[in-house]
Every structure is written in structure tokens, then in C-alpha cells.
Amino acid sequence: MDGTIRVCPSCGAKNRIPPDKQHLRPKCGRCGTALGPAAGSVVEVGDHNFQQVINSTDKPVLVDFFSPTCGPCRMLAPVIEKLAAMYAGRALICSCDTSRHQMVPTRFQIRGVPTLIFFKNAQVVDQVVGAVPEAELVQRLNSLL
């Protein structure tokens, strides 16, 4: 069977999450505790959960504002996924689809994509517009650790 196995932080039960359900907020089948995002994965944020995700961590957060029809955004996507794996447990890497969620991009005055915003303690500390090299993103993330 395909899927990811996640261990519940409350009761220790193993839970299989099918690939097509990874983006949903999975709960433990035994006790109902939220399992949260898999370590090393990009967390999808939008109008419904943006503030909750940003406020729920003391780690630096990188949010990639993108559009699925944007060529540079598609080129940057594998870099964002790689950063999520590299910084698992040290930083939170998120993505926000601007074609589906308009409130959050409007709040941060996103005019073009890709736009990457760096947060520390739920405050904006840096911003990059355009597809930038991986090394530059690594340098900016390291400065926030």
C-alpha cells in the first residue's frame, strides 16, 4: 500500500496517510489527535490556515507565493521541496497558491510570482521576488536560524 506512516504524538499509534490525502489535516485513527505535516514536506497554506501556521512555530518560516501557471514558479518548486527536506525540524517551508487564495497575497501586497517571504516570530523579516538560486535561499534561511 502506498502512503506515509506517521506516528501519533499522543498515543503512539501508527497511521497510514494515503498520498492523495497528505494535504488534508490528518488525524490519528485511534485518539483523533492532529498529526500535523510530515517532517521535511512543504506545508500548503492559504486563507484558511495561514495565520495559524505562521503563529504556531518558533522556527523561521519561508512562504513561497506561487501560481501553477507561472514558469519560474514551476522551476522553483523542486528547490522549495529540497529546502523543506534540508531544513526539516529547523525551519518551516510553506507554499501558497495565489490563484486559489487571494486574501493572504493581498495582505502582503504580492504583485508578482514567485515571491518568497521569510518570517521570524510571525514577523516578516525578508522578501525575495522572482526565481532566485538555491544558494541565496539557503543563505537567507541560515541567517534566520
Active-site residue among 8, 28, 73, 96? 73
CB 11 within 8 A of CB 33: yes
73 in active site = yes
8 in active site = no
CA geometry: angle at 124 spanning 143 and 26, to 5°?
A: 95
What strands, in cross-sheet order, belong to the sheet with 43-44?
43-44, 92-97, 61-66, 115-120, 123-129
Distance CA 114, CA 38 (A): 24
Catalytic residue positions, numbered: 70, 73
